[in-house]
Amino acid sequence: MCAALVAEPAEAAPVVRSAAPDPAVRVHGLNHYYGEGEARNQVLFGNSIEIPAGQLVVMTGPSGAGKTTLLTLIGALRSAHEGKIGILGRDLSRLGAGELVEVRREIGFIFQMHNLFDALSAYENVKMAAQLGDAAPGEMRQRCTGILERLGLGHRIDYKPRFLSGGERQRVAIGRALVNHPRLVLADEPTAALDKDSTMNVINLLKQQTVEHGAAVMMVTHDHRIIDSADRLVHMVDGHIMSDVVLHDALRICEFLRPIELFKALTPRQLTDVAEHMTKRHFAAGETIIREGESGEEFFLISDGEVEVIRADHEIARMRPGDFFGEVALISGEPRNATIVAEGEVDTYVLGKTDFQTALATSQSFRDQLYRVYFMRH
């Protein structure tokens, strides 16, 4: 389908990577222990994970797997024994006590126990968090009542916890966590006390935070209704991250790849593998994606938008969603044979060289298909 468009091979060109913002969470090589001396027990084993902004991550696993410990470390509530933790672009190990407190203000915590002050009304409990933010008093009032209404508690704003049901109390606690639109939300079984409607309401609210405010959400839960809404699923067992799957992207990529000739030959399993190793990348209008003459490290598949193919300074072709490029350099090792520039806003799925080669190795038919395309292009 996309094969006919590209004519000649290009020289090697260095890959241009688009600048991506700091991931909300960047954890590397995290080890953590409980106890001292002989009774020392390791609970986290070399955990590494990166969570970009706007992603809703659900953590599952049996109890004692270390999920909560990981959450407390990421939330700067405990200090890491070994390993690096970066939150919202800041290296936690470098921060003093005062700076840590500031970091906490950027994080919304939703605990299992609501821990509301029984002396304060729902509104006041939420305001305790709101008044740490930078809103003007009038706006603060708006925010607090707004989020409570959004959670279905508009008629309970001035009630003290004593007069609220268990589910209502938990919703107040969620309101407290989200009132300042934090850039990172850490939640531990937030919907355990909620009925079906409230749960969906809360999940939608969290999704809204990711979409509208770019919040990253890390949630520990066993609730299946939520898992369906997650963007990414991390499964931990005995302190190890056993799997870390970007759900929707993988699913979507699969859906996307399936009709493409090149990938038709892959088994669903292989397709999922490839899809899982693809990362989404966005290019602004006019941005150069690959440059003629640079060496090739990546394979691109257009999911949205159009690109111009330019060789020797004039456009020779255009590509549309479903088209792919960059495979030549990866196969032959030659430099890029064209410059590809984004026409408008372009979304692509990118497969790194190693993964690409792995895909080639695992699927004969994929290789055959690819070579066919390659040779056709030549």
Applying CB under 8 A, the residues found at the interface with other proteins are: 68, 71-72, 75, 77-78, 98, 101-107, 109, 111-113, 115-120, 124, 127-129, 131-132, 137, 160, 176, 188
CB 53 within 8 A of CB 23: yes
Measured between alpha carbons, how far is 153 from 150 in angstroms, rounded to an integer?
7
CA dihedral (238, 241, 242, 248) positive or negative? positive
Q: Least CB distance from residue 110 to other proteins, whole Å?
A: 10
Question: Which residue's CB is nearer to other proteins, number 27 or number 116?
Answer: 116
Question: Which residue's CB is nearer to other proteins, number 80 or number 275?
Answer: 80
Nearest to 205 by CA among 232, 173, 166: 173
- 3-state secondary structure (DSSP) of residue 186: strand
Measured between alpha carbons, how far is 57 from 218 in angstroms, rounded to an integer?
5
Identity of residue 223? D
Q: Least CB distance from residue 67 to other proteins, whole Å?
A: 10
DSSP 93: G
Question: Which residue's CB is nearer to other proteins, number 107 or number 328?
Answer: 107
Q: Least CB distance from residue 251 to other proteins, whole Å?
A: 31
Question: Which residue's CB is nearer to other proteins, number 80 or number 153?
Answer: 80
Q: Least CB distance from residue 71 to other proteins, whole Å?
A: 6
Measured between alpha carbons, how far is 205 from 216 in angstroms, rounded to an integer?
13
Q: Least CB distance from residue 132 to other proteins, whole Å?
A: 5
- Using alpha carbons, list the distances in angstroms from residue 316 to 8, 139, 313, 319, 339: 10, 54, 9, 10, 10
b/e map of 161-182 (b: 16 or more CB within 10 Å)? beebeebbbbbbbbbbbbbbbb
Question: Which residue's CB is nearer to other proteins, number 106 or number 308?
Answer: 106
Identity of residue 336? R
Q: Least CB distance from residue 147 to other proteins, whole Å?
A: 15
Identity of residue 60? T
Question: Which residue's CB is nearer to other proteins, number 112 or number 279?
Answer: 112
Question: Which residue's CB is nearer to other proteins, number 49 or number 129?
Answer: 129
Question: Which residue's CB is nearer to other proteins, number 65 or number 330?
Answer: 65
Measured between alpha carbons, how far is 15 from 348 in angstroms, rounded to an integer?
14
Strands across the sheet containing 232-237: 107-110, 184-188, 216-220, 56-60, 232-237, 240-246
Q: Least CB distance from residue 190 to other proteins, whole Å?
A: 12
Measured between alpha carbons, how far is 208 from 184 in angstroms, rounded to an integer?
13
CB 277 within 8 A of CB 352: yes
Q: Least CB distance from residue 220 to other proteins, whole Å?
A: 9
Q: Least CB distance from residue 16 to other proteins, whole Å?
A: 39
Q: Least CB distance from residue 129 to other proteins, whole Å?
A: 5
Measured between alpha carbons, how far is 207 from 36 in angstroms, rounded to an integer?
41
Question: Which residue's CB is nearer to other proteins, number 75 or number 326?
Answer: 75
Question: Which residue's CB is nearer to other proteins, number 103 or number 200?
Answer: 103
Nearest to 253 by CA among 330, 187, 347, 338: 347
Phi/psi for 32 (5° steps) reads -140, 150
